[in-house]
Amino acid sequence: MDFDLSVAQRDVRERAAELADGEVAPHAAQWDREDHFPDEVFEKLAEAGFMGLCVPEEYGGGGMDFLSYVLLIEEISRADAGVGVTLAVHTSAGTLPILTHGTGEQKARWVPELARGQKIGCFALTEPEAGSDAAAIQAWAERVPGGYRISGHKQWVTNGRVASTMVLFARAPEGVTAFVVDMDAGGISLGEHARKMGVISATTDDVLFDDLFVPEEDRLGEEGDGLRIALGTLAGGRIGIAAQALGIAEAAFRYAARYATQRTTFGKPIAEHQAVAFKLADMQTKLEAARLLVHKAAWIKDQGLRHVEIGAQAKLHASTVANEVAYEALQVLGGQGYMKDHPVERYYRDARVTEIYEGTSEIQRLVVSEGIVRDLAAQGVGPEPDTVGA
């Protein structure tokens, strides 16, 4: 067992930390306050090769592994979780499904501009009446000569108003189907821009489709493959959201630890009161354990192994830890923690959504528990007769 990162992975982490500390963190409070989407940062991320870090070089990407991508998301999210989720959705939900399920032609056409950051990608599955229950989507793709005509309403699309390319899911005659859509096509309009509690520098928008024509060659996979593509995409994507959660928790922990050595009560720094010191110990321990799980999930994905359950565990645990750590960090700051003068209240707000998007914590528990039951069934283990109906 080797817990060391490779030289290349360490290099990514250092470069990402430098960009995060230099170009992102100093502005995060302002972007949060002004509901500003920072285009300028995405140019810098593109220059650094971070918009397609884990995309193969032949498609314009950095050719790095998924673990490197996870390190990148953690570092960027440590500075600004909104920028972190923008990058995560662009990469793992807006680009990777085309790479994984696209034909050679589709990959060559769509992926390089996304991977170089010349275009931003998005992923539109959720609708007002279908979130966790993705199979219930109502957007309709009617077959017409040469392709499809799509109508429907997608809700809370991260990057909706800044993306040029969308991976879109709609119900075709053979079932839920995935499409790659150019956002400039006629028939697409923007709905409401969500006013959120956190991750405010990310833009979250409703997108409406009215008789959008999508040629057959822009269908991703076969008709009816859409749910498999969506769920497969989210299985990897949620490891990125777990990394976002780590970044938020790390930022909150660092801020609280520094504050605790500076704030004095009863004649000594609060870090020397055991109640505060033990909070810091618990925060760091939880964070370290969550990081191991997230890195393991990324590593398993990099080995090409099944990562559905471990990815769900990573997101479930890391998002729980992010919320706990942000809560305790705020407590360590006392009244100051509740004020906008410190970033901890932002971390607290930002942490909350990591338990919701790319599958709620309840859905992660469903995924993990179904895995347990399936593994037991594969071993031929059923319930003991005397416990049935007890």
Ligand X SMILES: Cc1cc2nc3c(=O)[nH]c(=O)nc-3n(C[C@H](O)[C@H](O)[C@H](O)COP(=O)(O)OP(=O)(O)OC[C@H]3O[C@@H](n4cnc5c(N)ncnc54)[C@H](O)[C@@H]3O)c2cc1C
Chain residues binding ligand X by CB under 6 A are 89, 123-126, 131-133, 156-158, 196, 199, 204, 353, 356-360, 362-363, 366
Closest residue by beta carbon to ligand X:
131
Determine which helix (DSSP H) or strand (DSSP E) holds 143, and give its type and residue range.
strand 140-144
Q: How far is the CB of 128 from ligand X (least distance, A)?
A: 8
Q: Are 179 and 148 in contact (CB under 8 A)?
A: yes
- Please say which residue, 296 or 365, places its beta carbon nearer to ligand X: 365
Q: Are 343 and 28 in contact (CB under 8 A)?
A: yes
Burial bucket for residue 167 (CB in 10 Å: 0-12, 13-18, 19+) = buried
Alpha helices in 20-55 (DSSP H): 25-34, 39-47
Options 216, 217, 358, 384, the catalytic residue = 358
Residue 271: CB minimum distance to ligand X, A: 34
Closer of 71 and 353 to ligand X (Cβ): 353
- Catalytic site residue 358? yes
Residues linked to residue 208 through DSSP beta bridges, in sequence order: 153, 189
Contacts (Cβ under 8 Å, ≥6 apart) of 238? 311, 312, 314, 315, 358, 359, 364
For residue 214, which amino acid is it?
V
- A 10 A CB-CB count for 41 gives 22
Nearest approach in angstroms of CB 73 to ligand X is 15
Nearer to ligand X, 283 or 322 (CB): 322
Q: Which is nearer to ligand X, 52 or 359 (CB)?
A: 359
Q: Which long-range contacts (CB under 8 A, 24 or more apart) does 256-263 make?
A: 256/280, 256/283, 256/328, 256/329, 256/332, 256/333, 256/344, 257/284, 259/332, 259/333, 259/336, 259/342, 260/332, 263/333, 263/334, 263/336
- In the complex, what is the shortest distance from the CB of residue 198 to ligand X, in angstroms, rounded to a whole number? 8
Between 241 and 287, name the residue whose CB sits nearer to ligand X.
Answer: 241
Stretch (H or E) spanning 282: helix 274-302
Q: Which amino acid is at 310?
A: I
Note whether 129 and 138 are within 8 A (CB): yes
* Length of the chain counted residue by residue: 390
When the beta carbons of 9 and 364 are compared against ligand X, the nearer one is: 364
> Any idea what DSSP says for residue 249?
H
Q: How far is the CB of 29 from ligand X (least distance, A)?
A: 19
C-beta neighbour count of 220 within 10 angstroms? 23
Closest separation in Å from C-beta 363 to ligand X: 6
Nearer to ligand X by Cβ, of 4 and 133: the residue is 133
Q: How far is the CB of 83 from ligand X (least distance, A)?
A: 14
Residue 206 backbone phi and psi in degrees, to 5? -80, 145
Cα separation, 251 vs 343, whole angstroms: 9
Residues 28 and 341: their CA atoms lie apart, in Å, by 13
Minimum CB separation of residue 34 from ligand X in Å reads 18
Of 63 and 371, nearer to ligand X (C-beta) is 371
Would you please indicate which residues are annotated as catalytic (active-site) residues?
Answer: 358
